[in-house]
Structure 1
Amino acid sequence: MKLLNEVTKNNVLQSMMDQLAQRKDNIIEANKKDLNAFSGDDQALYDRLIVDSNKVDDMIRAVREVKDQPDPVGKVITDDTLDNGLKITNKTAPFGTIMIIYESRPDVTIEAAVLAFKANNKILLKGGKEAHESNEELVKCWHQALKDNGLSTDWIQYLKMDRAATQEFLRNPDQPLDLIVPRGGERLIEFVKQHAKCAVLVSGRGNNFAYVAPDADIEKVIPVLVNAKTDKISGCNALDKIYIDANHPDLKAVSRKIEKALTDKKVEIVASQEVIGHLETTQLIENESVWFEEFLAKKAAIGMVDGLDDAIDHINKYSGGHSNIILTENLDDAGVFMEQVDSAAVYHNASTRFTDGGQMGVGAELAISTDKLHHRGPLGLKQLVTNKYYVSGTGQIRE
């Protein structure tokens, strides 16, 4: 796709905000069809599917935030002149074509496309069948906004394919494809990684842990754990696992307080053999696989570790590399934890729910990347570009 100037891109985004506002009722009606057709008992999936008036307003806000950000394309990263006279400039450049494969959430149809478009990328949207009606209506908004500004609707394409067709497309795409971002559970991510022939940026898997140190301030511990677990159970930044240090001077009482605070919020507690005797729950974790599992439900696992190093080892083994917390008043221990825990975001005495583009000052995000290449954490506008070298000479040859 050709490079567009910032004025043109911003005009499209202004048109998009207008379309979302004008078609709000149509979008909500389309979403009701998806909600009525929803089958299954996955509450987290259902919650992510809902589009109401406030959600449409959030979409408009996300578009506005991106519109107000500077164009990320063509920014000079380095500019050098070598001894041989070659002038070498490294600038930001679009990826080209980005494919987003996502489940349930219709707002991804807006947030993903607006970021990719402002970064001058063509985007292919492959939404889940459960959100088909909503996505169709939202893509109509995009296409009208593009047409209003004299641009081809090819900039933003909505792909209607079943699993078999998607698999074939990933293996043999009928157009250039530079990057794929799967947004969903582990099954989706593994499916994409197995079949894709281009780069895949892994995002969205949580399974986040909290470590309660022996000196943790219970007045901070309880609200942080409750917020991280219950504020949004369907979020990839939600808390799933809690390790309490075996050396805590008031181990039983603290364990019970944590359990009660969560069960008061209707959270189901499962526990390891080492800690279950201190708790009210009788649900014993009998299979190690539970520690690898992302719950996406009102469920939390409580276990026990023996010291800071043991906590770090366990978290690095089991977590999804998304967001993990240490609760302690010891700044040195907090520093060690934050340096050695291998995840996109590490927290000291704060909720994992802040791993979010808007909360971290990035603005609207494409996803939360747990990859280390090319970026880890919230993928905002500045992260949706690659780089390109411009080399100017006066006839130099390499000898």
Structure 2
Amino acid sequence: MTFLKENVDIQSQASIAKKASKKVGILSTEDKNRALYILAEHLEAGYESILEANKVDLQKGQEAGYTPAFMDRLTLTKERIFDFAEGLRQVAGLEDPTDQVISDWTLENGLQVKKVTVPLGVIGMIYEARPNVTVDATGLALKSGNAIILKGGSSAIHTNQAIVDVIQYALEHTKIPKEAVQFIASTDREATQPLFTMKKYIDVLIPRGGASLIHTVVKHATVPVLETGVGNCHVYIDSEADVDKALPILVNAKTDRPAVCNAAETVLIQKDWLLEHKDALVKTLQEHSITVHGDEQTLSVIPNAVPAGEDDWANEYLSLHIAMKIVDHVHEAIEHIEQYGTKHSEAIITENQETADLFMKLVDASSLYHNASTRFTDGGVLGFGAEIGISTQKLHARGPMGLQALTTVKFLMTGNGQIR
């Protein structure tokens, strides 16, 4: 069993990570890829020790009365660990995001200018409950030439420590210094606070978790923040929606993995479509044990629906509950999303291309879908190998963040004695 080190010196860890980032940043693509393959092999070989640590966290979670959704995010299996490893191999197979020439030109005086991609430096990752983030974030950070400081939630402390132990041991067999991966092994929430202001050592903070965590980091950090958002995702079923597409999409978006941020939490239905297809809709909802929280029109149509309060329109249920509102037209749906959406993922189901185009242009979100489930907002699914989070902000990065999001740019000028 791994022993936790509660007396941590975060400033020292950050300083060490900064020094290590300089070494990672100059490694070749081949060296970084080889390291990721070695990490994958060690994770697979060490899965039993990780699962033993995970049992401790799961037992504590049961005693604490964590919700089923929370426990699902916390739970590891051999298959999930092997999926983490495969994700690292996929990241290794992706193009190196650094040292790419974005553009180049020559001034009239002969000065040559290049705009190239470079690592951010040190990434501070603050997250809750999800042990997969420990692996995904590490793989993406190292492939993009960065060091990383990991601060997971107390609920997964033993699991995360066991994973980091495997990672750091594996790095001893690579050209990446093991100091490039730092883990704050503390269950004290206050231990996160110093990360917020360490601009000398940390180049960006990425919070990933519930609304409270994200709000706290955004509010108090002086270090730049890549804000990931909660997912109050909507599915709008238009008057011209194909029922054979609409119902399977709704079921998938709500029930495939209810506890994740790209699951649908609200369905908006055009009233004429509802009246025509209410029997099929009711049957589908009942077959999948979906509890509906609805407005007055919904309550008159959907048996056993419960009245929706104002909080329901903004709620991220992370369960088999869904809010339902009946609307007159696409503009009303767009207005509702504008008021309650979290700029994560939104979907429209319609056979009218003009209506779909209007929705896609006017809805402000990182990821928009026409006749498809919101569940595709995922870095792995979209070909990134893994993701470090889903950004709901607009500057630097937006949507699922893969390797490119962990780089910035430099302008490199080459002259022959030019002066101004």
1:168 maps to what in 2?
194
Describe how 1:120-269 pairs up with structure 2 within 5 A. 120-161=145-186, 162-171=188-197, 173=198, 176-246=201-271, 248=272, 250-269=273-292
**Does the 8 A contact of 2:161 with 2:185 survive in 1?**
no
Matched, 1:317 2:334: no
The equivalent residue for 1:335 is: 357
In structure 1, distance between residues paired with 2:199 and 2:239: 57
Q: What is the aligned partner in structure 2 of residue 377 from structure 1?
A: 399
Contact 1:271–1:281 (Cα < 8 Å) also in 2: no
Residue type at the aligned position of 1:110: V
1:397 paired to 2:387: no
Partner of 2:132: 107
* Residue in structure 2 matching 1:89, options 114, 133, 139: 114
Partner secondary structure for residue 380 of structure 1: coil
CA deviation digits over 1:107-154, x for unaligned, max 9? 111001000011011101001111111111110111112211254322
Where 2:96 maps in the other structure, the secondary structure is coil
Unaligned stretches of 5+ residues in structure 1: none
Tell me, in whole angstroms, the C-alpha distance in 2 between the residues paired with 1:309 and 1:271: 19
Distance in 2 (CA, whole Å) between partners of 1:166 and 1:282 is 42
> In structure 1, how many angstroms separate the alpha carbons of the residues matched to 2:242 and 2:33?
48
Deviation at 1:169, TM superposition (A): 3.2
String of CA shifts for 1:227-286, please: whole Å, max 9, x gaps: 00000011111001011113x1x5335345324312321221110123321221341113
Query: Which position in structure 1 is the counterpart of 2:10?
Result: none
Kept in 1, the 8 Å contact 2:88–2:385? The answer is: no
Unaligned segments of structure 2, at least 5 residues = 1-20
146-155 or 112-121, which moves further after superposition? 146-155
Paired residue type of 2:69: A
Shift of 1:204: 4.2
Q: CA RMSD in A?
A: 1.5
Residues 287-331 of structure 1 show CA distances to partners (whole Å, capped at 9, x for unaligned) of x23212211111101102221111111112211111111111101
- Amino acid of the residue matched to residue 170 of structure 1? F
Q: State TM-score, norm by structure 2.
A: 0.90
Q: How does 1:275-314 map to 2 (within 5 A)?
A: 275-286=298-309, 288-314=310-336
Deviation of residue 11 (structure 1)? 2.2
**Corresponding residue for residue 64 of structure 1:** 89
* Percentage identity across paired residues of the two chains: 39
Cα drift, residue 358 of structure 1: 2.1
* CA distance in 2 between partners of 1:242 and 1:258 (Å): 12
Separation of aligned partners in 2, 1:259 and 1:195: 46
The offset of 1:155, in angstroms, is: 0.3
Which residue pairs with 1:37 in the alignment?
60
Q: Which runs of 4+ in 1 moved over 6 A?
A: none
Give the secondary-structure state (helix, strand or coil) at the position aligned to 1:275: helix
CA distance in 2, matches of 1:282, 1:151: 56
Matched, 1:9 2:43: no
Structure 1 pair 175–124 and aligned structure 2 pair: CA distance change class (3 A): farther
Q: Which amino acid aligns with 1:113?
A: T
Q: Tell me the CA shift for residue 367 of structure 1.
A: 1.1
Query: In terms of mean alpha carbon deviation, does 365-374 or 254-263 score higher?
Result: 254-263
Aligned match of 2:408 in 366, 386, 398? 386
Q: In structure 1, what residue type is equivalent to 2:36?
A: L
Q: 1:30-67 CA deviation, whole Å, 9 max, x = no partner?
A: 11111111122311110011110110110110110011
SS in 2 for 1:390: strand
Residues 324 and 347, structure 1, Cα contact 8 Å, conserved in 2: yes
| Whole-Å separation in 2 of the counterparts to 1:123 and 1:336 | 41
**C-alpha spacing 1:122/1:335, structure 2 compared with 1 (3 Å):** same
Report the TM-score, using the length of structure 1 for normalisation.
Answer: 0.95
Residue 306 of structure 2 aligns to a residue in which SS? coil
Distance in 2, Cα, partners of 1:255 & 1:301 = 16
Q: Secondary structure at the match of 1:223?
A: helix
Distance 1:156 1:191 in 2: 24
Amino acid at match of 1:112: A
